[in-house]
Structure 1
């Protein structure tokens, strides 16, 4: 579970987040929208434990994030443009990252690469990937270790329609496995289709939070026996 309690952050004299309060339960997707510079990405960085508060706190499964505190759960993270070792293949990049925790096998990695539409046998290095392929690899890395918390910043950037459908499938599967998920996007349609709740961030404030959209949420439809996308 993600709990953000009165979280504020100031950078170079500018208050980028102001008394944010947000709870994301296991098996729940919260979509966050807002204009550029509103604080959406900084909120994800804070939940990921990459920046710490001036005031307030963030708890993951009841453990307060802070300097020297190991992240309490398995985290899947995609913030801004994916960046990997330029001369490694997609498979090799994934294997290198997976070796840190050793929780997934090479076959698991190959499976997630196929799920995102990449060929595990493709010998092209990362620097020769298209923008869409780079985004797909970023999603593969975010999901490959079956994370408990998933934080995605503009996850459908550079994806074609097939890629968007792939993303919907991944996110719904993670939700069904009990992950707590926060997504930022400029695409209100995609957010509306996968989110249980929607939040609006503007000038560092969480100023609106809508109730669950059960009629349009494809993840809810699938969990109740609806047609897969």
Structure 2
């Protein structure tokens, strides 16, 4: 099947694919933050000069994060097919695509968290320690509140990354705009669909970036 589709079919395809992409990105973002945030905190506090130094653990986790960040996502996507099938029962569809998307993104976010915490004023940490504060007090009362603007900026950046990952998931039938672009735009030589998916992805990225920037600025002004 080549050529254009009627506009009613076009809008139906675009709407369904967009909703699938939003679903994938939203759920993957939740899991990415849930996994990456504690990992980033552990990386920070177990440094040589951290509040709970643990050189062996830090080297191990840092190495795993570096490996996760260095793998091209398309390679990771294919390599995780057996694991995805084990967890979800299938490798097709939007829910299955969430597994490799999350595993590809959370090491990136963990490093963002570590770098954001590194910018917190060390004097605040020393003040809490001098008053007998525990590691939990430092994390909950100083590190996370002080680094919140940077963390929100990191979440925004990571969400944009997830949109790109969700598009690549279309290669293995992950659904969403990427899958639509491949099945209709590329395989059926339909420029109408291809252009529509590209424009929609650009709009999604711009919306996420704009909303994220506004939240960061709003939080920074309140502080």
TM-score per shorter chain, which class? Answer: under 0.3
**When you count strand as a share of all residues, which structure comes out higher?**
1
Q: Give the number of the structure whose alpha-carbon radius of gyration is greater.
A: 2
TM-score, L = length of structure 1: 0.26
Structure with more of its chain in helix, by fraction: 2
TM-score, scaled to structure 2: 0.26
